[in-house]
Amino acid sequence: MEPADVVVIGAGANGTSTAFHLAKAGVKRVVVVERQYLGSGATGKSGALVRMHYTNEPEVRLAFESLKYFQHWKEMVGGDCGFQPLGLLVFTPPEYPAHLEANLAMMRRVGVNTRTISPQDAQELDPSLWTGDVTRVAYEPESGYADPNATIYSLARARADLGVTFQFETEVTRVLIAGDRVKGVETTKGTILAPVVVIIAGAWANQLFAPLHIDLGLVPRPGRVSVFRWPMERSSKHMTYIDKIHRMWARPIDGNCTLVGTESVFAEPGDPNHYSEAVSQDYINACRRQLSRRFPIMRQSVVRGNWGCMLMDSPDSRPIIGQLDQYEGLFCMAGDSGTSFKTSPAIGKCLTELITEGRATTVDLVPFRATRFAEGKPWRDEFNYGLETGTISR
């Protein structure tokens, strides 16, 4: 196969975004190798919430930088990403008012349009809400959700115009090394020589890291959702929601249904090569139960669908983005931890800066470095509402 300047492994949101930005930055021969098809990993099944509410500044910066893309997709990428800025409400445990204020102050410093509103104001925005357990609700009027498949299709189309090559239904079987540097990749359809390889392989990344003797502590885990029809009396004033009290997130889908995911039931680690694209009845029941706690009327809702896929958790539930010290020319975005659709435009831009200029300037990637675990400095957020990391992370 033809040699490349950069090989990107994986055509999800982060792989397509990285290839798009590399080509835009003038890198001539960018090849994306994908074992299946566009969006076949977590991306195609993503809830695709585009929200700014994180409990740490580096992820807020990635999300805020990415929001500009979702808001101006046509000019910045071309095509349509299906962004729906319906507004977002975040419900946080009421015993941590200082955490809420600290997080919102940090977000506002970055530039995010966010404030707290009263439960009554929240009910005006969506009359079907139950707000008896909160005193303040975080509100982001400019957030919402996008169409994850439309997002990567338009990125892929733009990339094709910029000269990026795709190799679909082609699996990278190993990354090739010469001494202490990357030499290319071996695939099921031949070898591609390249001085730079970027592993963005989602839940399958361990299969590429293991032969390189790189262990980032990544654990593949199922990501799951259910869809419920709005009962007759549900208000159609439906926004996007993250409920950290009931460990649930939700957004509208299909004009009359709610897409909901919950982390109230533990997801055992899974095998990304053998997983179900459907969910169990127990999981559907858990979704309906948690959804009904915030929207009591949804107890009477008809289930209309569900799906499952695999995500990759990092040891501290924050992504690992950057260069891997073990081999020159090896980069990754790994351990998406179920929260890296909304940040993918900025992740691709920052990885490109790192690869082409040696340093990410749009958002500092140092906090996302792979070495933080070996340094004994895994990520801990100060104002995390008393929750362990990784809960309701969308």
Ligand X SMILES: Cc1cc2nc3c(=O)[nH]c(=O)nc-3n(C[C@H](O)[C@H](O)[C@H](O)COP(=O)(O)OP(=O)(O)OC[C@H]3O[C@@H](n4cnc5c(N)ncnc54)[C@H](O)[C@@H]3O)c2cc1C
Rounded Cα distance between 153 and 108, Å, is 32
Rounded Cα distance between 212 and 180, Å, is 11
Among 4, 7, 8, 9, binds ligand X (CB under 6 A): 9
Residues 252-271 that bind ligand X (CB under 6 A): 261
Shorter beta-carbon distance to ligand X: residue 260 or 297: 260
- The yes or no reply on residue 336 touching ligand X (CB under 6 A) is yes
Among 340, 350, 355, 372, binds ligand X (CB under 6 A): 340
Rounded Cα distance between 188 and 253, Å, is 38
For residue 233, with 0-12 CB atoms within 10 Å meaning exposed, 13-18 middle and 19 or more buried, which class applies? Answer: exposed
> Contacts with ligand X: how many residues (CB under 6 A)?
41
Phi, psi of 242 (to 5 degrees): -125, 125
- The yes or no reply on residue 32 touching ligand X (CB under 6 A) is no
- The yes or no reply on residue 320 touching ligand X (CB under 6 A) is no
Segment contacting ligand X (CB under 6 A): 283-291, 337-345, 358-366, 383-391? 337-345
Rounded Cα distance between 273 and 276, Å, is 10
Q: Which residue(s) pair with 321 in the sheet?
A: 333
Among 4, 7, 8, 10, binds ligand X (CB under 6 A): 10
Rounded Cα distance between 236 and 106, Å, is 32
Among 27, 46, 279, 292, binds ligand X (CB under 6 A): 46
Rounded Cα distance between 248 and 354, Å, is 35
Among 30, 33, 175, 354, binds ligand X (CB under 6 A): 33
- The yes or no reply on residue 129 touching ligand X (CB under 6 A) is no
- The yes or no reply on residue 331 touching ligand X (CB under 6 A) is no
Rounded Cα distance between 350 and 6, Å, is 15
Find tokens 């707000």 and name the residue.
Answer: 131
Residues 61-90 that bind ligand X (CB under 6 A): none
Segment contacting ligand X (CB under 6 A): 190-198, 202-210, 286-294, 322-330? 202-210
- The yes or no reply on residue 223 touching ligand X (CB under 6 A) is yes
Between the two ends of the chain, the Cα-to-Cα distance in Å is 39
Rounded Cα distance between 316 and 369, Å, is 12
- The yes or no reply on residue 348 touching ligand X (CB under 6 A) is no
Among 77, 112, 196, 200, binds ligand X (CB under 6 A): 200
Could you give the count of Cα atoms lying within 13 Å of 78 in the half-sphere of its Cβ?
A: 13
Positions that interact with ligand X (CB under 6 A): 9-15, 33-36, 40-43, 45-49, 171-172, 200-204, 208, 223, 225, 261, 309, 311, 333, 336, 338-342, 394
